[in-house]
Structure 1
Amino acid sequence: MLRLSGITRRYGDVCALERLSFEVPDNRYVALLGASGSGKTTLLRLIAGFEEPDAGQVWLEGKRLDGVPTHERDVGFVFQNFALFPHLNVFDNVAYGLRHRARNPLGSASEIRDRTMAILDLVGLKGFERRAVGAISGGQRQRVALARTLVTEPRVVLLDEPLGALDANLRARMCEELRAIRERQGVTFLHVTGSETEALVMGDEVAVLAEGRIVQAARPAELFALPGNAAAARHLNAWNILSGRVRDGALLTGTGSLALPRPLPEGKPAQMAVRFDQIDICAPGQVPPGRDHFSARYVAGEFNGATALAFFQTDDGQLIQVTDHLSAPRLPVMTEGTDYALHFAPGAALVFEGAGA
């Protein structure tokens, strides 16, 4: 098990990570989701040993890693730009770590060949061993980088946005391949990404990094359906979040008063989250009984194939999104610049105490 305890990392006056604690179980695919600048790559670099924390500890299978040189940590790192050696072919890129690692480098040409060819077969690159890395596709280069890491048999593999440089179709295919490779190897993957879709697809568990800390870690379906706080909900890009203050058992927001699904302390700030696909639209004054609602002006629509997005703006300037699944469309035809009532079942809303960011 990889365990981070009270990790803090500062760059001058900027705190990238603050007292972060987190556990990554053995033999799991864990996706770390965070916005740009949230500290995702910093966290990986601390685990790998490229940087050291200002405070806190890093443990792997009961051994403390902070302060241990990078090459002695038994941690693999797959860089976002792949970091392949351009003057070496596919085989020699993958075999490099076996030949030149600091501990127990292999001198047997036959053993190097057998292990290198076995890992190339595992990642689907058998027959490409003599190709120049500049003569293969982006997805194949990504697999070379992964094979180069896996061939040394690390206990943990860190992946720094490994799909970011690939096109959409190739990214979707590589998601499936990475999961299959990890399962066959039985090694722990910690995969950082800024894409909520990628994190939910890839991870056996998804951890959300915000404001220098892990704000929630859960299985993908649980995280998507029940984010535990507004920061986690915001990172999923599926929830509208309305901020306000509790007044007389309701949340008083910039767009009106909304019923609270559970009691909250009077006068305190709070936030309400309603998922994009759980909001319906109707004309003002035609809200069905028992539905909570607020008003907003229709701004624009966006067609995405199987789904369509509708964008609204509230009186206080907040952008609201509504998703319509075209296999079962439910939204009416709308006119830009017109006000509508956005309504939802009271049980669809989640509320969180505290002020919004």
Structure 2
Amino acid sequence: MVQSESIFRLDGVTRRFGALTALDDITFEAPQNEYISLLGPSGAGKTSLLRVIAGFESPDVGRIHFLGRDITDLPAHKRGIGFVFQNFALFPHLTVFENIAFGLRNGIDDIADAQIGDRVREMVDLVGLSGLEDRVPDQISGGQKQRVALARTLVMQPKLVLLDEPLGALDANLRGRMQTELRQIRERLNVTFLHVTGSETEALAMGDTVAVLDRGRIIQSGTPEQIHDTPSSSDVALFLNRFNLFDGKLSADAFHGPFGPVPAANVCQNPTDIYAIRYDRTKAFRKGDTLPGPALPARFLASEYLGSSVISFFETADHKQVEVDHHLSFGDPDNYKVGEEYVLSWDPRHAIVFGQEAAA
């Protein structure tokens, strides 16, 4: 993917609330005309970061640049940045049409009613709300409310749209459809979306760029493939919910874990020594089978059917739960017996070792 010029840049942005540091010296540059996912656990500072970019809050330290100019001290309504709130924030007494038109009527001088009507109708068509213009929010579904909130932001023609967990209030089926629709809308309008989420699946599915935020710092950013395949730290691997993580000791190019010593080929600097192998790289074998790598005895607990794959849960002797992900495109899964002992193994070349002894 060819990277374009940045749409916004954060230079050493810090935001404190008393003794709590919500944002800690963040420096980050976002490309134009992309879908950017901001992933992090609850309390990581995701919403605080959006509010600082939007201008609802001011950083204690650092500068914010948007389209090449410093907007740190510019009021929110003069920034030209759209914001879609998590709870939609619709006016309950206004119709769908008037909710979308609100910003045009109250934020732009000397705009004719005919022009307002044209722009609102264009947005109504774009987000699929035709025929609902005269309804009030209580008369439409959650997904339709989401579309109204998005249209109300897009009708102002911003170059950057900030979305604060926009799919969190929707059911699973609607979330999937809205993921596709949001990407299509962004591409049609050639704007940049910055989408905050606590869901690793959502972040990887939607983002052209994914940034991982933890304890007020962006600890990794890159393409979804880079984040998924090569997490830069054990914390990122943990957030992704795709890796079995094992404690142990990195020493002399080998990792010593509950499965014995294993060669450590891919090593990343980390505060603690952690061994990571993806769920879908982990396989269950019966005793006596030829193994591709280390041997980790484990007892089968249960399986969950996820549509395209089956997740199987095993427990080791030290009561650690290990997951095995079998994608159904590779054929039918094995039938494991509850309580029976198996041996988990994997190709060590597919593992990532995080360690204190790694070269910085």
Give the TM-score, by structure 1 length: 0.92
Identity among equivalent pairs (%): 47
What is the CA–CA distance in structure 2 between the aligned matches of 1:353 and 1:293, rounded to whole Å?
21
Aligned to 1:310: 312
1:199 and 2:203 correspond: yes
Q: Point out the more displaced range, 72-81 or 235-244.
A: 235-244
Contact 1:74 1:154 in 2 (8 A): yes
TM-superposed deviation, 1:293: 3.0
In structure 2, do the counterparts of structure 1 residues 225 and 264 end up closer, same or farther at CA, with 3 Å as the change threshold?
closer
1:292 is paired with a residue of what secondary structure? coil
Q: Is the 8 A contact 2:262 2:348 kept in 1?
A: no
- SS of 2:248's partner is strand
Q: What's 2:138 paired with? A: 134
C-alpha spacing 1:159/1:282, structure 2 compared with 1 (3 Å):
same
Counterpart contact for 2:260–2:294, Cα < 8 Å: no
**Residue in structure 2 matching 1:118, options 119, 122, 129:** 122
Whole-angstrom CA distance in 1 between matches of 2:309 and 2:70: 48
Residue number in structure 2 paired with 1:335: 337
Counterpart among 11, 33, 41 of residue 39 in structure 2: 33
The residue that corresponds to 1:150 in the other structure is 154
* Counterpart check, 1:80 vs 2:86: yes
Number of the residue aligned with 1:49: 55
Contact 1:287/1:293 (CA < 8 Å) preserved in 2?
no
Please list the CA deviations of residues 192-243 of structure 1 after superposition, one character each: whole Å capped at 9, or x if unmatched: 1111111111111111112221111111123212222222222211111222
Flag the 1:270–1:285 CA change in 2: closer, same or farther, 3 A. farther
Secondary structure of residue in 1 paired with 2:57:
coil
Distance 1:133 1:170 in 2: 18
Deviation at 1:130, TM superposition (A): 1.2
- What TM-score comes out, normalization by structure 2 length? 0.91
Match of 1:298 among 300, 320, 324: 300
1:275 alignment partner AA: R
Whether 1:273 aligns to 2:276 is yes
Residue 141 of structure 1 aligns to a residue whose secondary structure is: helix
Stretch deviating more after TM superposition (322-331 or 181-190): 322-331
Structure 1 residues 330, 344: CA separation in 2 closer, same or farther (over 3 Å shift)?
farther
CA–CA separation in structure 1 for the residues paired with 2:141 and 2:289: 55
- Conserved? CA contact 2:243–2:279, under 8 Å: yes
Deviation of the 1:263 alpha carbon: 7.0
Contact kept, 8 Å, 2:9 with 2:64, in 1: the verdict is yes
Question: What secondary structure is seen at the aligned counterpart in 2 of 1:98?
Answer: helix
1:179 maps to amino acid: R
- Counterpart Cα distance in 2 of 1:257 and 1:333: 30
Stretch of structure 1 that moved more, 184-193 or 223-232: 223-232
Correspondent of 1:167 among 164, 171, 175: 171
What is the RMSD of the two structures over their aligned residues, measured on CA atoms? 2.1
Decide whether the 8 Å contact of 1:293 with 1:343 is kept in 2.
yes
Q: Deviations over 1:301-341 (max 9, x none)?
A: 22223311111233333321111123434754333334321
In 2, Cα distance between equivalents of 1:263 and 1:163:
36
Relative distance call for 1:331 and 1:292 in structure 2 (3 A) is farther
Could you give the per-residue CA deviations for residues 20-76 of structure 1, whole angstroms, max 9, x where no partner exists? 111111111101111111111111011111111121111101222222211111111
Query: What is the aligned partner in structure 1 of residue 3 from structure 2?
Result: none
Alignment deviations for residues 248-292 of structure 1 (CA, whole Å, 9 cap, x no partner): 432122453333125789xx942221110111111345342x522
Amino acid at match of 1:39: G
Taking a change above 3 Å as real, the CA distance of residues 5 and 293 of structure 1, as seen in their structure-2 partners, is farther
Query: Residue 264 and residue 16 in structure 1: after superposition, are their counterparts in 2 closer, same or farther (change >3 A)?
Result: closer
Q: Does 1:352 align with 2:354?
A: yes
Counterparts in 2 of 1:1-20, with a 5 A limit? 1-20=7-26
Quick one: distance in 2 between partners of 1:47 and 1:287? 55
Distance in 2 separating the partners of 1:278 and 1:76: 41
Whether the 8 Å contact between 2:250 and 2:355 is mirrored in structure 1 is: no
Q: CA deviation at 1:95?
A: 0.6
Q: Which residue of 1 aligns with 2:4?
A: none
C-alpha distance in 1, partners of 2:71/2:322?
45
Is 2:220 the counterpart of 1:237? no
Moved over 4 A (4+): 262-265
Runs (5+) with no aligned partner, structure 2: 1-6
TM-fit CA distance, 1:127? 2.4
Match of 1:187 among 191, 196, 205: 191
Structure 1: how far apart are the matches of 2:267 and 2:109?
63
